[in-house]
A and B are shown apart, each in its own frame.
Chain A
């Protein structure tokens, strides 16, 4: 599988701040997904994107599927302590198989 370039690797912010993280790939994907993972647990789906240019929100989270189909970003507004965790982007090209390709994750720490 192909590794995606996810940045930043980690973020340390204060409660109430907005957060932005992004993911890029050298290949085109037709699906972008964002997951959050807490220690000792599996990834939990946050947002799914299926069309280039698509902008989708889920509460304080907003994600976009890049026009080039090679990138995506995730924004979190007004962060709270329970936003702490590791955020993963994942891309899929259904023409190349069934595998989801994951980034290495962005570790988010939020201080009260």
Chain B
């Protein structure tokens, strides 16, 4: 069990560019979540996958954001036409499907939009 893995760890991009982040959950974890965290705040929920199905999306997830989990394993989060307000830490978490299993977070991707 290597934990939740996120790549890249850091991304600097210019406003208007597209970026894509990857998350590899703990193996056999059916549930996968994306959160966003800005400085001085707690993580904010973006979206939830159960296997390959995207079951919940936050209003924070504007139409410039899209997340996929095509084979029910790794997931990608894409941001199109990035804006400076998108600068944040993007965290991925996973948990097993059974019971009230708590979320295990990765170390995040730090996005800076210049």
Q: Which A residues fall within an 8 A CB radius of B? A: 1, 3-4, 6, 30-31, 33, 35, 40-45, 48, 50, 88, 90, 94, 97-105
Q: How many chain B residues touch A (Cβ–Cβ < 8 Å)?
A: 26
In whole angstroms, what is the CA distance A23 to B110 when docked?
27
A102 and B100 form a contact (CB under 8 A):
no
A42 and B105 form a contact (CB under 8 A):
yes
B105 and A44 form a contact (CB under 8 A):
yes
In whole angstroms, what is the CA distance A36 to B110 when docked?
18
Q: Which of A1, A40, A45 contacts B102 (CB 8 A)?
A: A45
A1 and B40 form a contact (CB under 8 A):
no
A45 and B41 form a contact (CB under 8 A):
no
B43 and A98 form a contact (CB under 8 A):
no
Verify if B65 is at the interface (C-beta below 8 Å from A). Answer: no
Q: Which of B42, B48, B55, B108 contacts A88 (CB 8 A)?
A: B42
